[in-house]
Amino acid sequence: MSVYKRGKYWIVQFNHNNKTFTRSSKSTRKRDALELERQMRQQLVNTKILGYREHIKLHEACDDLLKTSQDSGAYSSLVTATNRFKDYFDNVHLDEITNRDLSRWVEFERKRGIKDITIRLWSRQFNKICRNAKRLGYYIPEYEWGEWNIKDKPIRYLTDDEEQKILKELDPSMVTDPKHIKGRQAARDIFIVMIDGGFRINEASVLKWSDIDFENSVIYLYRSKVSNDDFIPMTNRLRATLMNRRKVVDGEYVFPGKFGGHKTIKNNRALEAAFQRAGVTDVSSHNLRKTFATRLLNRGAAITDVQHLLGHSSVKTTERSYSAFIKNERFKQTIDLLDTPVQPKLKIVK
């Protein structure tokens, strides 16, 4: 079936030339999804077969992507980036933007004091705008980003000692107030979910008991940032933590909010406070996810397996994110070979 319901909205999904096209109708009515499917198929005929394309204004291209990305974990970043593009380029046709225009935009943002790492993030959002416009059948610019990429930076992950310090600060037996006990226990549990499962903070916050299969020791989740369904096998520690939590938490969500529903990211002050008390002040909750990935890579996990466990849409994303760590570990392992004395087994051949 080419349309199906996920949550409250109908989704359109069909194959064309061995490629899958998926889009949310953002509607609770099936007939709206069927009409969207008709439009999408007609668009494919016009662009792929007849070769027709249309011009689109930059502002419209930005808004088109925003409409389909409202449930994405990167939505706020996308809004910021599109506003920056709208302010600088005005409402020109998207395909009129050139390499020179993009280079001038980069320099303009630098003069405003914007760091390269932020500019690079915004440039990726520009790529998304262009890809979405192309998918909808519009002309897009031919461009390449200039040589302004940031050098590989070391990945900040927790050491085993730092992890133990934080867990000690999250020990609920260290406090006597019942409210503080409950808060610390929740913070400790979400800490383990993230560091043993590689969850983003927003993914852990909305986790439901129905997503957890204790019998098979896996957690099923829908990753809104990349719009895919996935599953994460549980470590023994993670499974034990969730089983203990199941005994004391009622309701739909693993981490319920103070006023109903699920826990919000802003409500996670207990975790951030534990970092401060442990003296680990240069990390955030996202570094737990990086710790999960680097521990797998350090133990010889395949980069493609780490990609799927992190929920990256492409292995290139994983390689780009952890290239510095992978390179450092590979060099270290290579040099370690020199510390292992060996006797040559080959005879000299004249």
Query: Which among 129, 164, 153, 155 is positioned nearest to 143, based on CA atoms?
Result: 129
0.85 surpassed by pTM: no
How far is Cα 189 from Cα 240, in angstroms, rounded to an integer?
10
Beta carbons within 8 Å of 349's beta carbon, 6+ residues apart: none
Helix (H) or strand (E) segment spanning residue 319: helix 315-336
CA distances from 202 to 68, 198, 266, 267 (A): 19, 12, 10, 11
At residue 226, the 3 state secondary structure works out as coil
Q: Which amino acid is at 141?
A: P
The model's pLDDT over 188-246, given as tens digits with 9 standing for 90+, comes to: 999 999 999 999 888 888 899 999 999 999 999 876 665 566 789 999 999 999 999 99
The model's pLDDT over 54-109, given as tens digits with 9 standing for 90+, comes to: 789 999 999 988 888 876 667 888 899 999 999 998 888 998 998 889 989 999 99
- Confidence label for 51 from pLDDT (cuts 50, 70 and 90): low
Can you list the alpha helix ranges (DSSP code H) found in the chain? 30-44, 58-67, 75-89, 99-111, 116-135, 160-169, 178-197, 201-205, 236-246, 269-277, 286-298, 303-310, 315-336
Query: Which among 215, 193, 170 is positioned nearest to 263, based on CA atoms?
Result: 193
- Confidence label for 121 from pLDDT (cuts 50, 70 and 90): confident
* Residue positions counted in the chain: 350
